[in-house]
Amino acid sequence: MKVDRATIIQTALNYKQVFYKLIDYLDSSPGSSEILQSLYINLYQKYVVSSGDEMAIRVLSLESLQKNGLVIHSDNQAGTLTLQSFIIEMYRFIDKKRIRELSHADFELIRKNLQTLCRDFENSLSISPGHDKYDEALITLFDTIDTALTRIKLNVESLTANADAIGARYKAMDNSAFRSVDSLTLHDDSEKLYKRFIIPCLEFLSPNTPMKPAVGSAEPQLTLTKSMERLSELHIRRGESFIGERIQYKLTAIRSFYKDISKIEKRVQRYFRTLSDERHRYNAIEDAFNALMGDIEELRHGKLKNTQLATDADSITRHESFTGLKKHSLAGCWKINWYDEVNNSNLIEEWVTSMVDNYKDISPRSEIKQLKPVTSPENERKIHVFRMLHNKSWPDELDNIYIHCHEWLKNELDDYELSDLLAAYEFCSSISAIETRLKHHFIKSRIEYGGYVLNYHDAALTRISSNSRENT
Amino acid sequence: MNEIPININFDKASAIYHELMNGRVINKTDLINNNEKENELYIEIINNLNSYKVQYAMSGFELVAKPGFFFIREANPESIHTKPVKKIQTLLLIIARYITTSGYKYDLLTDASGGISPEQLADIASNADFSEIIKRTGIDDLMTTFRTHLLERGLMYETGRGTFILSVAGRHFFDEIFSRYKPSDEDTKL
């Protein structure tokens, strides 16, 4: 069925999502212009057929697109089809995010075309308007310049849209309460946008980009700016100022995009740097963790199966922040650091001798009355609670040692106060037989008594087990 | 005999002794009402650093000054690599790995409005990926070791929301990891 092409395009514009998905498919396989027939048929069924739009169902069927020239090639054996390129470009034009950014190869092609034209004008053409050869070359020159201008303008729009999209994702990530699910992919996307599309564009537009001579040629290659400047100057020199100035205006228009690209570059650079910090931290933690895992894996084999990781394993000693940090307990910690042990006896002898010399005439000692140590009422109360708890028989296990002590002390003491419970906990924490069996939980609880409140984390008393003691 | 330096505050010196001898670190800041406030014990040491160094040296310890925190270690130990350090480092690494691979930023562990929750710690304890490491490091009960080795020693703070964030000392451990990690040139170039 032959259909007016304008009708097909108008109908197709009502089903943008179908063609956007086809463009996304093309972009996911760079270099290919072929689309799977099955993909089109699935999208056609999902969006067009399900809409019930009779006209669209007829016009956008695969057969109709083939007959009316919107599909230019169909390979039934491979199950692929190729769409008219202007259809793809039209949808890219509508959705800026889907405009294909110009890569280094695209810019190189534009630059080389202009360089070739520049050398043709300089070496083999006489600047003489009205002559066929010159006129044809001039048309080609302005076509090339206009195409470059259009493509660069679209490229700037595409880069701006993509930088905006990255900015929106970055902002969303920043506001998402420490979530970083997207940060690694965002890092890669911003890096790709920066390195593959922004930098080539900046280099292309910059008049100062250094150029090496082509292979097998001593003559330096020309930048876009240089080619256009030389073409402009050539025409002005030969009295064709109007054409020379036209080329100059076009060059100014192309170069005006440099500022826009520079702004995009700075934005993306900022995102990239912050994301790089996050990625660096992620990678560093992975690296340290993998080193630890590596040492653990070595213990999986043979006789080492039940061995614990050594304290001097590489994955442990590579970190120096806490090297030598001491154990918890105070026991055995006190000692005087006599550096010169050999002379200790001499020092003591000298001290005794000097004491005897100084105090030869010592009067008889009067009887010294020993004073009782002074203790505060609070301390006396605490000692009393300690004694009670010391003499008490403790069960093998308790779900909550706080509740147990609270209830028990309440029964035992007429003037029980919540501060006695604090003394009880201090007792439990300092008696090894109890402390080693305490198991703390992260459940917050609260006891109210006598107008006071005690907030605490639950602690259970566990049975004595040879393996349960944490080596602190 | 030298006089005892008059600038020493004996109450603070006693508190410092109690902290350090119990294997705790003294951080530059404490977390109070979810804000980091200057720790007066840290200031006391900083103002009398030499005196404190001498005091602990005479008792057979070395007062170790790291950026933002102090701790002590034995002056002549049999080995400088101790079991507590093994457990501390392993726990910190497991926590950071859990956070970063669960889709969170590392900042969760440093910002008082974030922090790792007790539920997340319980999730780590029951996570099969970490169970072998925990066992091989000699950690019998992750929750208990977390409390005794990280919280009580001052390597993590508890926030007002009941979550836990790294203290100055805890952050230093990761700062060291970050500064020593050398990424490939490709990762850094722009």
Q: For residue A175, what is the nearest residue in chain B, using CA coordinates?
A: B105
What pLDDT, on a 0 to 100 scale, did the predictor assign at position A417? 87
- Where is A36: in which H helix or E strand? strand A34-36
Scanning A238-340, the segments in alpha helix (DSSP H) are 241-255, 257-298, 314-317
Name the most confidently modeled range: A16-20, A23-27, A365-369, A440-444: A16-20
- Segments in A365-452 forming alpha helices (H): 377-391, 401-412, 418-430, 432-435
Is the pLDDT confidence value at B173 over 80? yes
Report CB contact under 8 Å: A321, B105: no
- Residues A304-325: pLDDT tens digits? 677 889 989 999 999 999 998 8
Average pLDDT over residues A331-335: 44
Of A177, A299, A335, the CB nearest to B59: A335
Taking CB atoms and an 8 Å limit, are A308 and B137 in contact across chains?
yes
Residue A460 has a CB neighbour count (10 Å cut-off) of 16
Tokens of A13: 């514009």
Segment 38-97 of chain B within 8 Å of chain A by CB: 57-62, 64, 66, 71-75, 77, 79-86, 88-90, 93-94, 96-97
* Distance of residue A299 Cα from the nearest chain B Cα, in angstroms: 9
What helix, strand, coil percent values describe chain A, rounded to 5? 60, 10, 30
Distance CA A144, CA A24 (A): 28
Position A176 confidence tier, pLDDT thresholds 50, 70, 90:
low
- Is ipTM > 0.85 here? yes
pLDDT band at residue B151, thresholds of 50, 70 and 90? very high
Q: What is the pLDDT of residue A270?
A: 87
Q: Which of residues 191-210 of A touch B (CB under 8 A)?
A: 191, 194-195
Question: Per-residue pLDDT for B5 more than 90?
Answer: no
DSSP string, B77-131: -S-S--HHHHHHHHHHHHHHHHHHHTTB-GGGGT-TTS-B-HHHHHHHHT-HHHH
Nearest residue on chain A to B86, judged by CA atoms? A311
Range 337-396 of A in CB contact (< 8 A) with B: 337
Task: Check if B100 contacts A (Cβ < 8 Å).
Answer: yes
Q: Does residue A282 contact residue B106 with C-beta atoms inside 8 Å? A: yes
pLDDT in tens, B21-43: 989 999 999 999 889 999 999 99
Give me the pLDDT at residue A465, please.
Answer: 62
Euclidean distance between CA atoms A131 and A126, whole angstroms = 9
Contact B145 A336 (CB under 8 A): no
In this predicted structure, the answer to whether residue A95 has a pLDDT above a threshold of 80 is yes
> Are A179 and B178 within 8 A, CB to CB?
no
A448 forms bridges with which residues in the sheet? A453
Give the per-residue pLDDT at A347: 54
Copy the structure tokens of residue A289: 């963790």
Which chain B residues are closer than 8 Å to A470 by Cβ? 139-141, 144-145, 148
Inter-chain touch B105–A441, beta carbons under 8 Å: no
Does the pLDDT at position A335 exceed 50? Answer: no
Instruction: Tell me the pLDDT band of A334, cut-offs 50, 70 and 90.
Output: very low
* Contact residues, chain B, for A195 at CB < 8 Å: 190
Identify the residue with better confidence: A329 or B17. B17
Say yes or no to pLDDT of A29 above 90.
Answer: no
**Which of B 127-186 lie inside 8 A of A, CB atoms?**
132-133, 136-141, 143-145, 147-149, 152-153, 155, 162, 169, 172-174, 176-178, 180-181, 183
* Residue B159: C-alpha distances to residues A421, B110, B117 (Å): 25, 11, 10
Q: Is the pLDDT score of B153 beyond 90?
A: yes
For residue A364, pLDDT over 60 is answered with no
In whole angstroms, give the CA distance from residue A463 to residue A152.
Answer: 77
Q: What is the DSSP string of chain B?
A: -PPPPTT--HHHHHHHHHHHHTT--EESEEEETTEEEE-HHHHHHHHTHHHHHHHHHHTTEEEEEETTEEEEEESS-S-S--HHHHHHHHHHHHHHHHHHHTTB-GGGGT-TTS-B-HHHHHHHHT-HHHHHHHHHTT-S-HHHHIIIIIITTTSEEE-TTS-EEE-HHHHHHHHHHHHH----HHHH--
Contacts of A183 in chain B (CB under 8 A): 105
CB contact under 8 A, A330 and B21: yes
Residue with tokens 């075309």: A113
Asked whether the predicted pLDDT for residue A299 surpasses 70, the reply is yes
- Checking if the pLDDT of A75 tops 50, the result is yes
The helix (run of H) or strand (run of E) holding residue A144 is helix A132-174
Which of chain A's residues have a Cβ under 8 Å away from the Cβ of B105?
178-180, 183, 278
Is the pLDDT at B3 greater than 70? The verdict is no
Report the chain A residue with the minimal C-alpha distance to residue B93.
Answer: A289
A131 in contact with B, Cβ within 8 Å: no
pLDDT at B79: 82
Q: Which tens digit of pLDDT belongs to each residue from A269-287?
A: 888 888 888 889 999 999 9
Closest CA to A189 of A118, A275, A111, A257: A275
Chain A contacts of B67, Cβ < 8 Å? none
- C-alpha distance across the termini of chain B, in Å: 63
pLDDT tens digit sequence for B58-109: 989 999 999 999 999 988 887 888 889 999 999 999 999 999 888 888 999 9
